[in-house]
C-alpha cells in the first residue's frame, strides 16, 4: 500500500477534526516521552530527584500530578528506575482512561482488554493495591508483557484471566470496568521524519462488531450504579460514537461528563447521515494538536438500576 502525507491520509476526517491544518502539522513531530511515577514502589519526589541527578529534565503535565514529560530522554526502558518499577513509560491519553474510571481502594474492578498492563497497573496504584482487579486478555502472547509489567511495578491486587472479552463469564459483577477495545489505532500514527503514513484499512465491520460486543459485555458485568470507561486510540466515528450510541439503544446506560480540565473536543452529534444521542457530546475526543499525545477517544458510562 502507498505511503500518504497526513493531509491525504486523514482527509476523510477533515470536517470533524478541529483546525485540521494544525492537526496535520502536529503529526510531523515525534511523539513525546511521558513517564508515569509509580507510587507503589517509590514517592514522586524520590523518583524525580533520582532522574534530576541524571540530568533528565521533567515537565509536569498538570493537573495530572503523576505524569511528567521527559524532554531529553529517548529510551526510558534503559533507566534503572524503569527496571526497579519506580516509573512507567505511558502515553498521556492512556493515563487519562484509568484516571477517569476513578477506581477506589477496596473495589472490584475489571480490565477487560488489559495487556500490556499500563492502565491496569495505574488502577492498582490508584487503589493502593487494595481490593481486586481482574486483568483479562485473550491472547497468550499478550499475557507475557502483562505479567511482566505488573510484577515490575509491584502490583499485588490483580489476578489475570484469559477469556475472549465478549464471552467473559457472568459469574461475578464489578464496581468498575475499563474496556479499552482493539481498534484501527489511527491515533497512534505520526508521520515522523519521512513525512508520510503507510495507508491502512479503516475500521472494518468485523472490528466494530467486536467493539460493540465487548462494550455490551463490559456493561452487563457492572453492578447497578457501577461505572465503565470505553476507550480507543482511533478517530473513526464508527468505532467511537456509533458504538456508544448502540449501547444507549440497547442498555440502561448514561454517559457522564468527564471532570478533568484538559483541552479536548466533544463527541460528535452526527457523522455522514447518522445522528447520535445528544448525551454523546459528553465523550472526549483528544487530538495531538490539543494535547501532545496519542489521539484518543473515551466515554464515562454509568449503569442505571
Chain length of the chain: 305
Active site residue 283: no
* Residue 249 backbone phi and psi in degrees, to 5: -75, -25
Q: Return the C-alpha cell found at 295.
A: 489521539
Exactly one of 113, 183, 233, 283 is catalytic; which is it? 233
Specify the residue for cell string 468498575.
176
Helix (H, G, I), strand (E, B) or coil at 28: coil
Burial (Cβ within 10 Å: 0-12, 13-18, ≥19) of residue 83: exposed
Which residues, 6+ apart, have CB-to-CB distance to 177 below 8 Å?
109, 110, 111, 112, 218, 219, 221, 222, 226, 227, 228, 229
Active site residues: 233
Amino acid at each position: 500500500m502507498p505511503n500518504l502525507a497526513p493531509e491525504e491520509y486523514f482527509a476523510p476526517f477533515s470536517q470533524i477534526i478541529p483546525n485540521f491544518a494544525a492537526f496535520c502539522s502536529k503529526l510531523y513531530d515525534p511523539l513525546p516521552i511521558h513517564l508515569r511515577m509509580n507510587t507503589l514502589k517509590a514517592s514522586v519526589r524520590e523518583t524525580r530527584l533520582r532522574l534530576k541527578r541524571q540530568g533528565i529534565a521533567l515537565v509536569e503535565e498538570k493537573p495530572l500530578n503523576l505524569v511528567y514529560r521527559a524532554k531529553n530522554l529517548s529510551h526510558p526502558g534503559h533507566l534503572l528506575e524503569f527496571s526497579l518499577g519506580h516509573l512507567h513509560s505511558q502515553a498521556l491519553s492512556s493515563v487519562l482512561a484509568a484516571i477517569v474510571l476513578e477506581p477506589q481502594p477496596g473495589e472490584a474492578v475489571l480490565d477487560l482488554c488489559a495487556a500490556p498492563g499500563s492502565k491496569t497497573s495505574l488502577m492498582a496504584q490508584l487503589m493502593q493495591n487494595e481490593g481486586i482487579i481482574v486483568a483479562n486478555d485473550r491472547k497468550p502472547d499478550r499475557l507475557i508483557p502483562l505479567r511482566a509489567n505488573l510484577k515490575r511495578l509491584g502490583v499485588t491486587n490483580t489476578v489475570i484471566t484469559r477469556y475472549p472479552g465478549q464471552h467473559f463469564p457472568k459469574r461475578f459483577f464489578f464496581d468498575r470496568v475499563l474496556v479499552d477495545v482493539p481498534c484501527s489505532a489511527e491515533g497512534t500514527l505520526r508521520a515522523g521524519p519521512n513525512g508520510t503514513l503507510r495507508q491502512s484499512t479503516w475500521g472494518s465491520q468485523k472490528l466494530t462488531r467486536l467493539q460493540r460486543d465487548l462494550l455490551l459485555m463490559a456493561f452487563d458485568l457492572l453492578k447497578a450504579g457501577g461505572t465503565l470507561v470505553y476507550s480507543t486510540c482511533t478517530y473513526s466515528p464508527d468505532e467511537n460514537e456509533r458504538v456508544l450510541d448502540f449501547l444507549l439503544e440497547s442498555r440502561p446506560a448514561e454517559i457522564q461528563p468527564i471532570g478533568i480540565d484538559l483541552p479536548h473536543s466533544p463527541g460528535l452529534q452526527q457523522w455522514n447521515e447518522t445522528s447520535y444521542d445528544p448525551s454523546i457530546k459528553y465523550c472526549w475526543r483528544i487530538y495531538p494538536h490539543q494535547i501532545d499525545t496519542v489521539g484518543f477517544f473515551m466515554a464515562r458510562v454509568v449503569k442505571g438500576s
